[in-house]
């Protein structure tokens, strides 16, 4: 059930991101990219799954001793943390760049911005 819900959410996020990416407004394009990268992050978390913990998958547990409850794969969480930081920085940069494009061209409309520079 969880897998089904996650798959639906992922599909919706990717669809929304792609839709925004194809808009004419520059800011919506940035939003689209942001949503797409969030979708990738959610996807990354789901890739770990919930497994019986063992020293093979979670090396820290080797020295833990005793019983440990079910855990998700900690590696994907570490990966997502990195990916979030990167996509956050990229979004900030893309927003600043959008502002600069507006300053230079006085428009955020992609069609008036022109094609081949």
Partner 1 sequence: MTDQFVVAPMLVALVTIVATLGTRRRLGAQIALSVAGALAYAGTVLVIVRRVVFSATASPATYQLGGWPAPFGITLVADALSAFMLSMVAIVGPAALVFSVSYMNPDEQRVFYHPLFHCLLLGVSGAFLTGDLFNLFVWFEVMLLSSYVFVAFYGKKKHTRAAFWYVVLNLIGSVVMLVAIGGLYAVTGTLNMADMARRLAAPATFGIEVGAVVGLSALLFVVFALKAGLVPFQFWVPAAYRAAPLPVTALLAGVTKKVGLYAVVRLYFTVFGGTELTVSIPGTDGNTVLAFYGIVLLCLATASVLVGGLGALDAASLEGVFAYSSISQIGFIVIPLAIGAASSVPAIQHLGVLAALVYALNHALAKSTLFMAAGTVRSAIGTSRLDDLGGIAARSPALAGVVFVAALSLVGIPPLTGFFGKLLVFDVALRAEAAFGLALLLGGTGLTIAYTTRMWNRAFWGTETPAVSASSPARLQIAVVVALSACILVVGLGFDPVYRFADAAASAATDRGAYIEAVGLSGGEGA
The yes or no reply on residue 93 touching partner 1 (CB under 8 A) is: yes
Angle, helix 74-105 to helix 26-48, in steps of 10 degrees = 180
Question: Which residue among 9, 28, 48, 71 contacts partner 1 (CB under 8 A)?
Answer: 48
Q: Which stretch binds partner 1 (CB under 8 A): 1-9, 63-71, 74-82?
A: 74-82
Which tokens hold the place of 91? 């979004």
The yes or no reply on residue 97 touching partner 1 (CB under 8 A) is: yes
Least distance CB 69 / partner 1 (angstroms): 21
Report the C-alpha gap between 99 and 91 in whole angstroms.
12
């Amino acid at each position: 059930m969880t897998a089904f819900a996650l798959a639906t959410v992922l599909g919706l996020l990717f669809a929304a991101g792609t839709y925004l990416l194809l808009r004419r407004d520059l800011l919506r394009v940035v939003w689209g990219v942001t949503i797409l990268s969030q979708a990738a992050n959610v996807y990354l978390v789901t890739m770990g799954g919930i497994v019986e913990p063992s020293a093979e998958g979670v090396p820290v547990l080797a020295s833990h001793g005793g019983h440990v409850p079910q855990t998700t794969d900690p590696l994907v969480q570490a990966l997502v943390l990195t990916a979030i930081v990167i996509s956050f920085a990229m979004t900030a940069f893309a927003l600043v760049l959008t502002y600069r494009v507006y300053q230079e061209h006085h428009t955020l409309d992609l069609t008036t911005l022109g094609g081949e520079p």
